[in-house]
Chain A
Amino acid sequence: MMSYHADERGYYGEYGGAFIPEMLYPNCEELRQNYLKIMAEPSFQEEFHQLLKDYVGRPTPLYFAERLSKKYNTKIYLKREDLCHTGAHKVNNTIGQILMAKRLGKHRIIAETGAGQHGVATATVCALMGIECVVYMGEIDIARQAPNVARMKMLGAEVRPATSGSKTLKDATNEAIRDWINNPVDTHYIIGSVVGPHPYPDMVARFQSVISEEVKSQLLEKEGREDPDFVVACVGGGSNAAGAFYHFLDTPEVGIIAVEAAGKGIHSGESAATSALGKVGIIHGSKTLLMQTPDGQITEPYSISAGLDYPGVGPLHAHLYTSGRGEFISITDDEAMKAGLDLCKLEGIIPAIESSHALAIFKDRKFKEDDVVVVNLSGRGDKDLQNYIDYFNL
């Protein structure tokens, strides 16, 4: 049977691999040789799950959204990643990676961040473990995301502005990679999504897979079956989606719906809908779909949600798209903002704008009345308050 998981060399179909300069080879190789071994150690599993439980607050609830379901005439469950410590699923990965870094004997952590969610999640686990933390963030994003910059500083991290290129997430990622090249021995790079060279996409997906693992047992309890009919998640780089899809990837009966940000419209020139607009290429060491010029220069995406504002997608998602295993839907800024406000009014939950994209599909994508649809609510909207205020003139 065809599997949608990474093969030994980190390929998902034709996507993935490690397209890295030789300077990064030893770092990635050390990780590649050790990650599965370390993750399989009982002491690692024990520490990881203990922290997820006591520190992150897992398992997160699987909540039947009754009023939302009624409105769209189907059965909608929300996987409440918004209730994780720090406000999003990102911390599942940073907990896993900080434990990995410790076992690899690393004394220094670097990370990239766009909106600051992954930066905060990384700064948090570094504070927890007492490890030095440097977060690269585009100069433009630093100006746009002041509260998260302050959070990272309060948590003891150093926030370094990325001033190259377009001064946003992709450049922050470049800077983090450059830092890793310059500090190959003592530093671990905590990548924030299922992107980058092998083994990152697979490792991050495994750490996030706790989401679908929990969904299975929670759904069994509520519906008498482990498998939903559909799982829906937004895709920036694709980590919350990878976690939500993970245990259903090789179960064809479960429909997989990935939601990308169309920004101001797919063909507006201001969009982040990578599957629709991207072509095969190399970004941050991975062969995947990415937005680029005909000349192969990587272009700057746009979305109202900073977390979806990435010009590529993880290789898993490129494969889900190309193979047809996943259904890809893109949602505009306006559709997402309306769906976000809708959730506030109907369920009393203020979602992150990223997650609002996943919620926005119900307007046009119809489901059967008895379909069980799980939406991964990847984060809460506190960080987006200013955006909501500006958009709705609150």
Chain B
Amino acid sequence: MNRIKLKLQENKKILSIYFTAGYPSLNDTVKIIQDLEESGVDLIEIGLPFSDPLADGPTIQASSTAALKNGMTTTLLFEQLKDIRKSVSIPLILMGYFNPVLQYGVEEFCQKCEEIGIDGLILPDLPLDVYQEEYETIFKKHGLINVFLITPQTSDARIRAIDDASEGFIYMVSSASTTGTKEGFGTEQATYFERIAGMKLKNPQIVGFGISNAQTFQQATEQAKGAIIGSAFIKHLTQNGVNGIGGFVGQIR
């Protein structure tokens, strides 16, 4: 069974961490993954850097630009990850924009993910209808879960359609914003969290955007299955390099 699905069956709240591959230094990828697993994180999203990250705020824009400047490419990332399953068993997701995947070749990309032991993909600008018409069979053939996003603006009907198309979890964007833009949650989020919980979706939801510490992690996971930390972890890497990852995770939960 897919590692993400197995993890989601555990009776616990999921802590997922995002980082940009190739940042802060080109060859930090494996060390960051190993330290995150050791620190008790449940799921890791490895960011494939892109020159034009539309949905990202300044923090992840900067880490992406730096990673590309360091020399990160899709081919190099696969090279860095080729033996990753010898040292970690944590579910791994690749997250990035669709264009680099398209250039690598969707089939070849998925093939490579399967060889390495990647469990899922998050490609925010690959729309639901295109995925279903052109790529779903390829993803499935290679055992990859595709994760879709919903936002407070997503209609109930569309959430149902996304729920039907999902297997694994739904990435619940906490507010109408780019990554790392808003801190903390207000009444809008409370209403939104309630609304989604009330929909009794078949897939669990993991909340992302705006989670940076124990308090926001706690708030986000009151109803949802888990939460994702991205920009806050990138800031930690900017300040500390790859040191103290255990300490960072330890203060979240």
A positions within 8 Å CB-CB of B = 17-23, 25-26, 164-165, 170-171, 174, 177-178, 181-185, 279-285, 292, 294-299
Contacts and interface: CB of A to CB of B under 8 A. Distances in A.
Interface residues on B, range: 35 or more
B98 interface: yes
Contacts of A22: 124, 148-151, 154, 173
A182 B176 contact: yes
Contact of B99 (A20, A25, A178, A282): A282
B130 A19 contact: yes
Contacts of A284: 52, 54
B181 to A, nearest CB: 6
Interface stretch (B101-109, B194-202, B234-242): B101-109
Contacts of A299: 51
B103 A181 contact: no
Contact of B127 (A18, A279, A281): A18
Nearest to A23: B151
A281 to B, nearest CB: 5
Contacts, number: 113
B57 interface: yes
B74 interface: yes
A50 to B, nearest CB: 35
A376 to B, nearest CB: 29
Nearest to B124: A21
Contact of A23 (B74, B98, B101, B176): B176
Contacts of A282: 97-99, 102, 125
Contact of A25 (B102, B158, B181): B158
B135 to A, nearest CB: 12
Given A279-B103, A282-B125, 18 more contacts: A19-B127, A20-B127, A21-B124, A23-B151, A165-B52, A170-B52, A178-B54, A178-B57, A181-B55, A181-B178, A182-B177, A184-B153, A185-B153, A282-B98, A284-B52, A292-B103, A295-B74, A296-B99
A232 B158 CA distance: 43
B55 A23 contact: yes
A18 B124 CA distance: 12
Interface in B129-155: 130, 148-151, 153-155
A21 B154 CA distance: 12
A181 B176 contact: yes
A164 B151 contact: no
Contacts of B56: 178
B24 to A, nearest CB: 18
